[in-house]
Amino acid sequence: MRVLSSIVMCLFIIAAFGQAENKYVGVAKCKACHTSDKMGGLAYKVWEKTPHANAYKTLLGDAAKKVAKDKGLKTAPSESPECLKCHVTGGGAAKNVDAGFKKEDGVTCEACHGAASGYLNLHNKKDDASKAKAKEAGLSLGDKTGKACEACHNAESPTHKEFKMKDMWAKIEHGLPPKK
């Protein structure tokens, strides 16, 4: 029993480290395939029109400056970890990102599907074994309950509005190409 549980612990630690090493590769990588129903579906085309794609740019505007002033921030919103933590994938910290990652892209695919360096070249096949490998390598399929969304859509947001998953998902809905 004890041997078994230490093996399980080791696997846990390995899994945790595996994920921690993944880097954010940037949304341009996803754009390469997720713009066509012949390939990975239209997710990119949906995403680029959602406010998520503008989340960093929002921090450069007057509304953001006012929010920051009311909170007594001394730095510009676009340079404040207090704002970047939700307005940029990965919180805007420069570490853990590939050269292709741009904070200007705001809340990208990887904010919800996980940092992609580990699964990028594994995830685009249909068979179950490949899908399982991609998940092990850090691919998150998202969660329709809205729990994952509430990591950012919560009362810590200075402009928080009540979050209703059904309505909010309808505004960003995307997926795989339709089955033939």
| Smallest distance, ligand HEC to C-beta of residue 8, A | 26
**Of 147, 118, 92, residue with least CA distance to 21:** 118
Residue 134 vs residues 64, 111, 155: alpha-carbon distances, Å: 37, 16, 33
Return the closest-CA partner of residue 107 out of 20, 168, 21.
Answer: 168
Q: What is the number of other CB atoms lying within 10 angstroms of the CB of residue 32? A: 10
- Of 10, 12, 156, 164, the residue at the interface with ligand HEC (CB under 6 A) is 156
Q: Looking at 47, 92, 103, 118, which residue binds ligand HEC (CB under 6 A)?
A: 47
Contact partners, residue 38, CB within 8 Å, separation at least 6: 177
Residue 97 binding ligand HEC, by CB under 6 A: no
CB of 160 to ligand HEC, least distance (A): 5
Tell whether the torsion through CA atoms of 70, 72, 73 and 76 is positive or negative. Answer: positive
CB-nearer residue toward ligand HEC: 6 or 143: 143
Residues forming the site for ligand HEC (CB under 6 A): 25, 27, 29-30, 32-34, 39-41, 43-44, 47, 51-52, 54-55, 58-59, 63-64, 67-68, 71, 73, 77, 80, 82-83, 85-87, 107, 109-113, 116, 120, 123-124, 126, 131, 141-144, 148-149, 151-154, 156-161, 168-169, 171-172, 174-176
